[in-house]
Structure 1
Amino acid sequence: MNKGSAAAVADSAIYEKLLSSIGSRDALVGIVGLGYVGLPLAVTATNAGFGVIGFDIDAQRVAKVNRGETVIKHIDGALLGDAIAKGKFEATADFARLAEVDAILICVPTPLTRHREPDLSFVVATARSVAGSLRAGQLVVLESTTYPGTTDEVLRPILEEGGLKSGQDFFLAFSPEREDPGNPDFGTSTIPKVVGGDGAHALELANTLYGALVTKTVPVSSAATAEAVKLTENIFRAVNIALVNELKVVYEAMGIDVWEVIDAAKTKPFGFMPFYPGPGLGGHCIPIDPFYLTWKAREYEISTRFVELAGEINTAMPQRVVSQLARAMDSRLKRGLNGARILVLGIAYKKNVDDMRESPSLRLIELLEERGAVTAYHDPHIAQIPPTREHAPLTGRRSVDLTAQEVAAYDAVLIATDHDTVDYALVVDNAKLVVDTRNACARRDLPNTNVVKA
């Protein structure tokens, strides 16, 4: 038997053994990153019958998870605690233990640099940790949103530095996370999973694993295609949000309420999908993903003008909201922002979650304070602002109580996030001025004599 045939036999044996262990749910799953993506995935995997080891660099988070404490509010703590009690799940900060697992699912952040370019430092650091313990017969899947080519061009070379080869000794795939924190209708197990692999064996292994976790998988031809799918989904949203933000500005000048327009337009049963304006984009995907594609497109000397324009419109929205607030105060209260007390209602990037990544509220507070305002915030889901990369001076600020006396003490209340549990009637009844960026007051049929939409 020649060397090539021997390698093929070894490859087949390794593949068949791993496929069998995944199919029988005997495979041990490792999940790197126990945040808004990794922790729900860990719970889903344990529910499906797999043993799971969760890896995270934050030792405090690891300790809390192992105690069964809720570190993310919308995660079912009872399910997590039950998995821990049954010995199906444990968390660790010891990345050498990656050698113990059969499948490694990487769920780490992919933010932007200050220059709006991809920051793959978390992916690269994780890849090096995996490479240090990589053994034959493991499946490695990247879930972090990134530009097409990352799995092949960045992840694979690092993993192969030790001599093992993708498709022969280990198997590499990409399957983008599709989490929507706080969505009551769809969770990790009920959202179809797109899967692309580095070769047919990698695709089959990843597809089999995720097929055991979710209701439906969507295999595609390559990891790069799967990477492009995730970017396309979020660019679609970013562009359409930019469109309604621009329409809002136009219709506002015409004396037309864009919210009323959208509510009427969405009654059309075909050809229209409602998107809504806001004070800016937030979350871990929509404000970031378009820039991953525009950066990669420059490598091919292609200009993504449409996508970049949408980014400019959405990025400008916090500044516009502050300007509208200033005009409303000038016309209704006969005073400017300098020295004014402003209560920002909602610090999370979307309603009903404790997730404040890329939240436009942080930028709104900065802009208000740059103009001399004194700000405070109330958020029923976020008691204290945690450390952030871009807004360090805001770290540690605490949510104030929402009482009639507290609301009345401010010159204006700026509704930035429309949490359902907020008493908007109390706000409207006691505030001197309410500037509503989410149409929260109108949706509740509250008096509008002191409410301005922005």
Structure 2
Amino acid sequence: MSKTITNVTVENLFTRIKNKTAKIGIIGLGYVGLPLAVEIAKSEYNVVGFDVNQQKVDSLNNGHNYINDVNDEDLVKIVENNKFISTTDFSQIQQIDVVLVCVPTPIDAHQHPDISYIQSATKNIANYIHDEMLIVLESTTYPNTTKEVMLPILMEKGHKVGEDFFLAYSPERVDPGNENFKTKNIPKIVGGITEDCTMLTSMFYKSVLNSNIHEVSSPAVAEMAKILENTFRNINIGLANEMAIICNKMGIDVWEVINAAATKPFGFMPFYPGPGLGGHCIPIDPFYLSWKVKEYKYHVRLIETSSEINNYMPEFVVERSMKILNEVKKPLNGSNVLLVGAAYKKDIDDIRESPIFEIIKYFEGHGANVFFNDPYISEFNFNGKKYVSFPLNKENLSKMDLSIIVTNHTSLDYKLIAEHSKIIFDTRNAMGNYSGIKGQYYKL
């Protein structure tokens, strides 16, 4: 510790965290909350998971996992050992010492932040808030949400932050499907309302994770750091996508260009084009910042431009497809198009914000018959219609006028696709070095 503890409330909570007798609550049991709950329970804390979805709660209490990044055996073990229990009863928060908020933060139809889930979770906490409680927001959000949205709600009953309870922000950095960096070893950023808030939060994460804990001066710094991380990727992917459009017009292979540039050992970091952005963070987070800075009479130009480019990519994929089919005198209207891959990135089952939805919309708008295949996703609903994964076999591939690689899953049978597709349009360069392609082959 960096200083002597003089506050009894701090000392008591510090001791319970140190001894791992503190009871931990996780609000939101999705892609962020559940892996975090499992790691905390594995580190010998008792954990209560809170979610409004009764089906999720029942599934977890029976030891049934629904998140790929969670090991099935780990979940079963912590449930059987009574280290983890799930509930929809938020009144149990009154028994919790450390509450981590991991709820969704989407944008609405006007691309404005929807923080209703954060507000709802905070109100549930406020109803049962007590002395010696630490509250940490992990959900991605705009700067000052912790201080301007959560703090006033938590103080409504007269509790004082830094004295009676403690509040901090520590952004989730989950990267689904990443085999090297998972919840346990991803470095954490921590910013508290007060020094004690930061100290207690940092100490808690150190007791659970095998990673560096980076303390910052305020929640706003931590909130902005998360926005910067994903905006950085959004802009650089936007640049790669625009280069792909330009290279296509000039007859140059953009993938070869990027690989050549990446040989420079300094001053260049390769980013790659694709059919559009997906996932909860990269396509959404920049809108949180652009919305917030309007309060300061500033317009974010670079960020909005990159988002426009990235949002155009599904339409560009369909436009390219139309031109490709025209080369064989085949109209898009009435053509059979197979979209190989539906998840927003390879080797995961996450379809949130996947570009496949916009691609389907544009294709069907032009009268194409759209099919999809994904080894991780059996079906989904879009625009009132149910789509079921189309079996990938010789007979079905031969019926397709165009096969498009949308997601480059490792487990896909690329040999089968190569040998039995009439035309392949590869938006991920998944088959760029494959020599066994029998039909026509195009890259983004």
The residue that corresponds to 1:48 in the other structure is 43
**Partner in structure 1 of residue 249 of structure 2:** 253
Q: Does 1:372 align with 2:367?
A: yes
Select the residue among 23, 31, 37 that pairs with 2:32: 37
* Separation in structure 2 between the aligned mates of residue 329 and residue 130 of structure 1, nearest angstrom: 57
2:276 paired with 1:280:
yes
> Quick check: 1:393 aligned with 2:378?
no
Contact conserved, 1:111 with 1:120, CA < 8 A, in 2?
yes
1:74-126 CA-to-partner distances (Å, cap 9, x unmatched) read: 31010111011111111111111111111000001101000011011111111
Quick one: structure 1 residues 417 and 23, their matched pair in 2 at CA, closer, same or farther if it must change by over 3 Å?
Answer: same
How high is the TM-score relative to the length of structure 1?
0.94
| Matched-pair identity in % | 44
Q: Is the 8 A contact 1:437 1:453 kept in 2?
A: yes
Name the aligned partner's letter for residue 247 of structure 2. Y
Q: Distance in 2 between matches of 1:355 and 1:443?
A: 27
- Calculate the aligned-residue CA RMSD, in Å: 1.4
In structure 1, runs of 5+ residues without a counterpart are 1-9
Contact 1:349 1:360 in 2 (8 A): yes
1:231-310 to 2 correspondences below 5 Å: 231-310=227-306
- Over 3 Å counting, the alpha-carbon distance change for 1:143 and 1:134 in structure 2 is same
TM value normalised by structure 2? 0.97
1:158 deviation in Å? Answer: 1.2
Aligned to 1:430: 420
Q: 1:11 to 1:381 in 2, by over 3 A?
A: farther
Residue pair 1:194, 1:217 contacting (<8 A) in 2 also: yes
Alpha-carbon shift at residue 337 of structure 1 (Å): 1.4
Q: 2:342 aligns with which of 336, 344, 347?
A: 347
Verify the 8 A CA contact 2:424 2:439 in the aligned structure 1: no
- Contact persistence 1:415–1:436 (CA under 8 A): yes
Letter matched to residue 251 of structure 2: G
Please list the CA deviations of residues 244-303 of structure 1 after superposition, one character each: whole Å capped at 9, or x if unmatched: 111111122222111111112212221111100000100010000001000011100011
Provide the secondary structure at the position in 2 that maps to 1:162: coil
**Rounded Cα–Cα distance in structure 2 between residues aligned with 1:179 and 1:67:** 25
Name the counterpart of 1:201: 196
* Whole-angstrom CA distance in 1 between matches of 2:69 and 2:164: 38
Distance 1:249 1:170 in 2: 53
* Distance verdict in 2 for CA 1:414–1:77, change over 3 Å: same
Unpaired runs of at least 5, structure 2: none
1:327 paired residue number: 323
Q: Does 1:91 align with 2:82?
A: no
In structure 1, C-alpha distance between the alignment counterparts of 2:396 and 2:370, rounded to whole Å: 13
2: CA distance, partners of 1:307 / 1:202: 32
| Corresponding position of 1:75 | 70
Counterpart CA distance in 2 for 1:154 and 1:275 is 35
Letter in 2 for 1:399: S
In the alignment, is the contact (CA less than 8 A) between 1:11 and 1:167 conserved in 2? no
The one-character-per-residue Cα deviations of 1:321-352 (angstroms, maximum 9, x if unpaired) are: 100001101112x1211111111111100000
Is the 8 Å Cα contact of residues 103 and 117 (structure 2) preserved in structure 1? Answer: yes
Contact 1:428 1:450 in 2 (8 A): no
Residues 1:180 and 2:180 aligned together: no
